[in-house]
Amino acid sequence: MGEAAAIRGEATRRRLLEAAVPLIGEAGWHAVTTRMVAQRAGVAPGVVHYHFASVTDLLIAASAGFTRAMLDRFVRELAERPDLDAGLDWMLAEMARYDGADPASLLVAETYLAASRIPRLRDEFAELVADFRARLAGWLADHGAADPEAAATVLGAAVDGLILHRGLDPRLDLAALARPLRSMLRKE
């Protein structure tokens, strides 16, 4: 049988996913079309519906995959910071790499919205975020933060919110936020 063809097909599938990721951010979830994805992936338009049942299916797979990898990397790198202050500073520096209008930031925001209308995506995304929050709370607890569960919730929400706000005003000074965040985590 055509084993090489199957491998090549898998590569095409992956290229479609990789092409879809920046497009969701650039054009918006609803504005991504089959032809758009196919063109950026360098394949014929019809190939999308060979590998995916629908455009929505492709977008769900692409956005969930990207977000999962992103959060994973975030938590993994955070774990390497020695204490709360270093972790906080790293988080703020990490966020400074995104201006809120880049494809990665926009993809996450688009996925939040799409999730509110696609149950399957909401379930998957909710699990991702809950897992992220739990791991963040664990790290906070391990490093002596006060009220780690609630603090992780506020911190996680603030990260998403700040990314949105930076889309409106990229000059927003993230480093200046270290002080109030530190107070929040300080015990007693």
Q: What minimum distance in Å lies between the beta carbon of 104 and its own copies? A: 12
Q: Which stretch binds its own copies (CB under 8 A): 13-21, 24-32, 46-54, 78-86?
A: 24-32
CB nearer to its own copies: give 29 or 139: 29
Per the CB < 8 A criterion, the answer to whether 131 and 62 are in contact is no
Give Cβ neighbours of residue 133 (< 8 Å, ≥ 6 apart): 152, 153, 156
Q: What minimum distance in Å lies between the beta carbon of 51 and its own copies? A: 24
Residue 97 makes contact with its own copies by CB under 8 A: no
Q: How distant, in Å, are the alpha carbons of 32, 60, 119, 130 from that of 124?
A: 21, 9, 9, 10
Selection from DNA, its own copies, none that 24 binds (CB < 5 to 8 A by kind) is: none
How far from chain centre, in Å, is Cα 99? 14
Residue 115 makes contact with its own copies by CB under 8 A: yes
3-state DSSP assignment of residue 173: coil
CB nearer to its own copies: give 61 or 185: 185
Residue 39 makes contact with DNA by CB under 7 A: no
